[in-house]
Structure 1
Amino acid sequence: MSRRPRLLVDLLSYTGTKGGMETYTQQLYRTFGEMDTGLEIVGLASKEGGRRDLSWFPGEVIRSRISGENRFVWAAGELLATGWVAGRRGADLLHSPATLGPWRTQMPAVLTIHDTLYWSHPELMSTPLYTGPVKWMETRAARNAAHVITDSEAAAVDIRKYLHVPDDRLHVVPLAATPVPARASDGRPTGEVLLLASGQRRPHKNWEGLIEAIALLPAPERPRLVITGGRGDDPLRAVVERLGVADTVELRGWVDEDELAALYRAATAMVLPSFVEGFGLPVLEALQAGVPVLCSDIAAHREIAGEAAVWFDPHDVASIAAAVRVAVTDPGRMARLRVEGRERARLFSWQRVADSTLEVFRTALAGGS
């Protein structure tokens, strides 16, 4: 009886602190664990990831000493260690789910690229010193990969443009949303308009533009805005104080699942003001939770929400403010968007993500395109 093909999964970037890419990895492999994939799955974890609960991973986990938080150690691990370990463990296939991967492998590799922001919007990167090295690493990983997966057609356009991945090696697999756990005791306070925003404090997220839009509204029209997702000293605190909106804008920082569930239950709408995204998981999570979405009119967001959103120009503070005013003044439209959003979210599922990804894996194992 022949053995199952062995898949080595590159988990070096998984540390529990990196947001959407980690959600993708966790949900994809949790879903694989509920399927008969026909694969033997082995994970190579970072030092930090290996200390976390990895019960969602459907196979053996190799706990390495490679730090996923030290950029230089992690980069060396991505370039060299993943391919070496895959070879040592007799892997037939390697999957790197977080945009970067090995520069050379003995076996076919599948690379998931979530965005190409260092190429398309280098001015929005918070660490310009890394722009050149990251672009070089992305180029090497994409050249080595037998197949590349990405989250949206918008991201695929840029991958073709900047990384020159041909269509027969490029696959668009839209992500899905993870149900937000809700507690029955949570509810929306009577008369309060609460806007929720969630994401890391990276420049392309455009949080400063959102806070400026809140400040632009007359004080009686300003909703309560809660922005989650920051860690440590929040750079947005100085913006809030400068604009004098500390009484309506709350910087909540990193929140656990229970706290996030409470915020979803209380939210009138979710606001996503990004200048650019490879996908935009918070948009889809809000739609699935029945929370109306106010979001920037960019290609990736349009692919997710269709017409089930209030759109604005992220480069125009007045446009953002106008969208916020809709949430404050038009409860009927918010009610319609709750229904339309849930309908739209049904188009996306982690089972579809897993099935499509597994099809790419099988194609790579067969040596085809």
Structure 2
Amino acid sequence: MKPADSTEEKGICDCHPDQSQPDVLLIGNYVPDQQHSMNRFLQWLESGLSERGIKVEVWRPDILMARPFKKQRSGMGKWLGYCDKFLIFPMRLKHRIRNARLSNAIIHVVDHSNASYMAVLPPERSLITCHDVLAIRGALGDPSAWARPSPTGRIFQHWIRTHLLRCRHIVCVSETTRKDLIRIPGNRADNQQIQVIPNGIDPGFSRSNVADALPSSALPDAPFDHPFLLHVGTAHPRKNRISLITAFESVARDFPDLRLVFVGEAFSAEETRLTQSCPFSGRVIHAGQASDSALSFLYRRATGFLFPSLSEGFGWPVLEAQACGCPVACSNISSLPEVAGKDACLFDPFSTSSIAQAMRALINLEQRQKLIEAGSANCKRFAPEQTIDAYIRFYSDLRIRPDRCF
């Protein structure tokens, strides 16, 4: 299996070294966008299908108009990247898909944000994976999505929604996402095949000790000489990191050695201000970004993992932590109870006292062990081979009865 830390810069022209007919064509994301979770999902799916003997090709938009620009995620480079993704690539995709070599291939768009590609694909043998509809809900004015877009973002989400609702065959990664999708205004669920196939756990996250010799230089700011509670995520407000910092203040008084460690996007201005004003500021640590191997190491060393998100489409970090033998406490809303399992430690993400209580549960030795065992059992529901099997059945169903709708 390919390491999840790597992202191959392949475009539509250089992705198939031979001319044999593929069984499945996976449509991936534009590399400069650095969508780590989507790239990991694509690589994981490609590897899993290939291991089953299924011939797979991966196509991505080429970096063409944006190539001269060093910064391709902002300014002119970003806007020309849109041209690469949504003008040039669909035209080339439409032309190449007519090739006789691809006449029987199942075409899988792996990220719903690329739903517009479906307009140039044969609908009877094309499907798309929907990971969440939070941004779409936010663009429609739903405050519970915690995803308020910019004016241009609102236009972009309207465009995604229009194309997504026209798709005949959709896979949702959770029941929560499926319900959110069918509630979107204009949905034609009676004319669509919508199936839930939960994400599988990346095999790179496990209780194995292979990475326990990870050099400290890989995570120089991590407090490995102290017990620590861990959070992984971005600075987006829906990740609710501020509530973690606030809740930690009451717990820190009783546990002087305990640290709170954040991995991912740097602190926002508000998070920085709150951390600096906290009486235990030296014990709230941002360890920077981490590779998957380093992250796996952190999960195994952490006293517990906290995920207070206010909205999610799935919640991969919860499973990653559980797979590594780390006790987990997470929000009791959105998709997280569905993913964390029936014996998980759940808390009210809007209540800092509830979060603090969950922190104490993660520190308690007896409760920690129960949560570790519950997490290990829960991971069996997300075995990667089960997810691959489900996608293969979905592909086979398209071949046999392409126009069937539920």
Contact persistence 2:263–2:289 (CA under 8 A):
yes
Contact persistence 2:111–2:129 (CA under 8 A):
yes
Cα deviation, residue 271, structure 1: 0.4
Indicate the RMSD between aligned Cα atoms, in angstroms: 3.3
Once residues 109 and 129 of structure 2 are traced to their aligned partners in structure 1, the CA distance between those partners, rounded to angstroms, is 6
Contact persistence 1:12–1:74 (CA under 8 A):
no
Cα deviation, residue 262, structure 1: 2.8
Three-state SS of the structure 1 residue aligned to 2:314 is: coil
Cα deviation, residue 192, structure 1: 4.2
Look up the match of 1:201.
235
Once residues 73 and 255 of structure 1 are traced to their aligned partners in structure 2, the CA distance between those partners, rounded to angstroms, is 29
Look up the match of 1:306.
341
Once residues 130 and 252 of structure 1 are traced to their aligned partners in structure 2, the CA distance between those partners, rounded to angstroms, is 33
In the superposition, relative to structure 1, how do residues 220 and 42 fare at CA in structure 2: closer, same or farther (>3 Å)?
A: closer
Three-state SS of the structure 1 residue aligned to 2:57 is: strand
| Residue 199 of structure 2 is aligned to residue 175 of structure 1 | yes
Cα deviation, residue 75, structure 1: 4.1
What residue identity is the alignment partner of 1:87?
K
Which residue among 358, 361, 373 is the counterpart of 1:339? 373
In the superposition, relative to structure 1, how do residues 157 and 78 fare at CA in structure 2: closer, same or farther (>3 Å)?
A: farther
Look up the match of 2:6.
none
User: Bigger shift: 338-347 or 95-104?
Assistant: 95-104
What residue identity is the alignment partner of 1:154?
T
Look up the match of 1:105.
120
| Residue 171 of structure 2 is aligned to residue 166 of structure 1 | no
Which residue among 103, 107, 111 is the counterpart of 1:94? 107
Look up the match of 1:60.
none
Once residues 185 and 262 of structure 1 are traced to their aligned partners in structure 2, the CA distance between those partners, rounded to angstroms, is 9
1:139-159 superposed Cα distances (whole Å, 9 cap, x missing partner): 233144231111100000011
In the superposition, relative to structure 1, how do residues 235 and 7 fare at CA in structure 2: closer, same or farther (>3 Å)?
A: farther
Cα deviation, residue 343, structure 1: 1.2
- Please give the TM-score of this superposition, normalised by the length of structure 1: 0.83
> What percentage of residue pairs aligned between the two structures are identical?
22
Look up the match of 2:63.
47
What residue identity is the alignment partner of 1:166?
A
Once residues 136 and 385 of structure 2 are traced to their aligned partners in structure 1, the CA distance between those partners, rounded to angstroms, is 31
Once residues 189 and 119 of structure 1 are traced to their aligned partners in structure 2, the CA distance between those partners, rounded to angstroms, is 39
In the superposition, relative to structure 1, how do residues 317 and 165 fare at CA in structure 2: closer, same or farther (>3 Å)?
A: farther
Three-state SS of the structure 1 residue aligned to 2:53 is: coil
- Please give the TM-score of this superposition, normalised by the length of structure 2: 0.76
In the superposition, relative to structure 1, how do residues 319 and 287 fare at CA in structure 2: closer, same or farther (>3 Å)?
A: same
| Residue 252 of structure 2 is aligned to residue 236 of structure 1 | no
1:46-100 superposed Cα distances (whole Å, 9 cap, x missing partner): 539xx9xxxxxxxxxxxxxxx6775544444444444322322234443221222
Contact persistence 1:86–1:94 (CA under 8 A):
no
What residue identity is the alignment partner of 2:193?
R
In the superposition, relative to structure 1, how do residues 232 and 215 fare at CA in structure 2: closer, same or farther (>3 Å)?
A: closer
Three-state SS of the structure 2 residue aligned to 1:83 is: helix
Once residues 25 and 84 of structure 2 are traced to their aligned partners in structure 1, the CA distance between those partners, rounded to angstroms, is 14
In the superposition, relative to structure 1, how do residues 316 and 46 fare at CA in structure 2: closer, same or farther (>3 Å)?
A: farther
In the superposition, relative to structure 1, how do residues 191 and 311 fare at CA in structure 2: closer, same or farther (>3 Å)?
A: farther
Show the 5 A alignment for 1:222-233.
Answer: 223-230=258-265
Look up the match of 2:389.
355
Look up the match of 2:249.
215
Contact persistence 2:171–2:194 (CA under 8 A):
yes
What residue identity is the alignment partner of 2:52?
M
In the superposition, relative to structure 1, how do residues 76 and 349 fare at CA in structure 2: closer, same or farther (>3 Å)?
A: farther
Once residues 190 and 136 of structure 1 are traced to their aligned partners in structure 2, the CA distance between those partners, rounded to angstroms, is 46
Runs of 5+ consecutive residues of structure 2 not aligned to the other structure = 1-19, 217-221
1:186-229 superposed Cα distances (whole Å, 9 cap, x missing partner): 79999943111101221111111111111233523363111101
| Residue 174 of structure 2 is aligned to residue 152 of structure 1 | yes
Look up the match of 2:5.
none
What residue identity is the alignment partner of 2:155?
P
| Residue 111 of structure 2 is aligned to residue 83 of structure 1 | no
What residue identity is the alignment partner of 1:177?
I
Once residues 71 and 111 of structure 1 are traced to their aligned partners in structure 2, the CA distance between those partners, rounded to angstroms, is 24
Contact persistence 2:135–2:149 (CA under 8 A):
no
Three-state SS of the structure 2 residue aligned to 1:177 is: coil
| Residue 350 of structure 2 is aligned to residue 315 of structure 1 | yes
User: Bigger shift: 160-169 or 199-208?
Assistant: 160-169
In the superposition, relative to structure 1, how do residues 268 and 134 fare at CA in structure 2: closer, same or farther (>3 Å)?
A: same
Aligned length: 351
Cα deviation, residue 6, structure 1: 5.9
Once residues 170 and 231 of structure 1 are traced to their aligned partners in structure 2, the CA distance between those partners, rounded to angstroms, is 37
Cα deviation, residue 356, structure 1: 1.7
Once residues 97 and 336 of structure 1 are traced to their aligned partners in structure 2, the CA distance between those partners, rounded to angstroms, is 36
Contact persistence 1:197–1:272 (CA under 8 A):
yes
User: Bigger shift: 311-320 or 135-144?
Assistant: 135-144
Contact persistence 1:14–1:68 (CA under 8 A):
no
Contact persistence 1:19–1:200 (CA under 8 A):
no
